[in-house]
Every structure is written in structure tokens, then in C-alpha cells.
């Protein structure tokens, strides 16, 4: 298979993403101090989602790869999202 999408990411970008991930982790911990009631899970998931997207896009090269891989990754995340929504049909309506 011809590898036409090879892309070198500079170390500076990796370092920047690392710092961003650490900051987001700090926010995830800090946000637990605020009483968000039933929204706390959503906020935690959103922050985790942003961190995951960064890892997948940059560290796992999804940003530079063929579009089909991006589409498949998004579909899988959507599937996981729907599974979570269905789960919360229980938790939010108890």
C-alpha cells in the first residue's frame, strides 16, 4: 500500500499537547470541587472526550491519516455515545 500520507509531527507539538493534557487533567480534578449535581458526569465525560480526541488526532496520527480512518473512528465514538445515552435512560429517569 503506498504510504502517501506520511507526516512528521514536530516535537514542539507533542510537548504542547502533553501540557494541554496535563492542564485538562488538572481541570478535571478541580471541577470535582464544584457541586454540579447530575451534570458532573457530563462535564467529566466532556473533558475526557477532549483529551481522548487530542490523543487520537495528534499522538495516534488520525489528523494526518486517510479520511476513512477518521470516519471510522468517529462512527465508533458515536456508537459509544449512543450506548451511553441509552444507559442514561435508566439513570436520569429513576
Partner 1 sequence: MTASPEKKSYKSFLEEDGGRKGIFKWILSTDHKRIGLLYLYSMMAWFIIGVTLGLLMKLELIAPGETLMGPQSYNATFTVHGVIMIFLIVIPGLPAVFGNFMLPIQIGARDVAFPRLNLLSWYIYVLGSILVIASLFGNGAPDTGWTFYAPYSFRTGTNMLPAALGAFVLGFSSILTGLNFIVTIHRMRAPGMTWLKMPLFPWTLYGTAWIQLLATPIVGITLLMVAGERILNIGFFDPAKGGDPILYQHLFWIYSHPAVYIMILPAMGAVSEIIPTFARKTIFGYRAIVISTLAIAFVGYFVWGHHMFTAGMSGTALFAFSILTFLVAIPSAVKVFNWIATMHKGSIFTEVPFQWAASFIFVFMVGGLTGLVLGALATNVHVHDTHFVVAHFHFIVFGGTGFAFFGALHYWFPKIFGRMYDRSWAQTGWIFFFLGFLTLYGPMFYLGIKGMPRRYFDYLEEFHGGNIISSLGALVMVTGFVIILINLVKSARHGEKAPANPWGGTNLEWRIPSPPPVENFEEIPVIDKATYKFD
**Looking at beta carbons only, is 6 or 94 nearer to partner 1?**
94
**Looking at beta carbons only, is 34 or 89 nearer to partner 1?**
89
Q: Which residues bind partner 1 (CB under 8 A)?
A: 76, 79, 82-83, 86-87, 89-94
Instruction: Quote the CA–CA distance of 49 and 67 in Å, as a whole number.
Output: 20
CA 13 to chain centre: 17
**Looking at beta carbons only, is 15 or 84 nearer to partner 1?**
84
CB of 29 to partner 1, least distance (A): 17
Concatenated DSSP letters of 26-82: HHHHHHTTS--TTHHHHHHHHHHHHHHHHIIIIIT-GGGS-HHHHHHHHHHHHHHHH
**Looking at beta carbons only, is 16 or 74 nearer to partner 1?**
74
Amino acid at each position: 500500500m503506498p504510504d502517501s500520507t506520511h507526516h512528521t509531527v514536530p516535537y514542539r507539538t507533542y510537548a504542547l499537547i502533553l501540557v494541554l493534557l496535563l492542564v485538562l487533567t488538572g481541570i478535571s480534578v478541580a471541577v470535582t470541587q464544584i457541586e454540579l449535581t447530575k451534570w458532573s458526569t457530563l462535564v467529566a465525560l466532556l473533558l475526557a472526550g477532549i483529551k481522548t480526541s487530542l490523543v487520537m488526532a495528534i499522538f495516534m496520527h488520525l489528523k494526518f491519516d486517510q479520511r476513512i480512518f477518521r470516519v471510522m473512528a468517529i462512527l465508533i465514538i458515536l456508537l459509544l455515545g449512543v450506548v451511553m445515552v441509552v444507559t442514561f435512560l435508566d439513570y436520569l429517569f429513576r
